[in-house]
Amino acid sequence: MSENQMLEKPYLNEKEVAAITGRAISTLRNERFMRKPGSLPYLKIGGRSVRYKSEDVIAYMEGRRITFDEVG
Residue 70 located in a structural domain? no
pLDDT tens for each residue of 12-64? 999 999 999 999 999 999 999 999 998 999 999 988 899 999 999 999 999 88
pLDDT for position 26 = 97
Would you say residue 52 lies in a domain?
yes
Q: Answer yes or no: is 38 within a domain.
A: yes
In a domain, 10, yes or no: yes
pLDDT at 72 (0 to 100):
58
- Could you tell me which residues are beta bridge partners of residue 31? none
d(C-alpha 34, C-alpha 55), whole Å: 23
In a domain, 71, yes or no: no
- pTM for the whole thing? 0.81
What is the mean predicted confidence (pLDDT) over 58-72? 82
Number of domains in the chain: 1
Taking the CB of residue 18, how many other CB atoms lie within 10 A of it?
A: 17
What residues pair up with 44 in beta bridges, in sequence order?
50
Give the pLDDT of residue 70: 61
CATH number at residue 36: 1.10.10.10
Q: 52-66: string of b/e by CB count within 10 Å (b at 16+)?
A: bbbebbeebeeeeee
Domain containing 9: what range?
Answer: 3-62
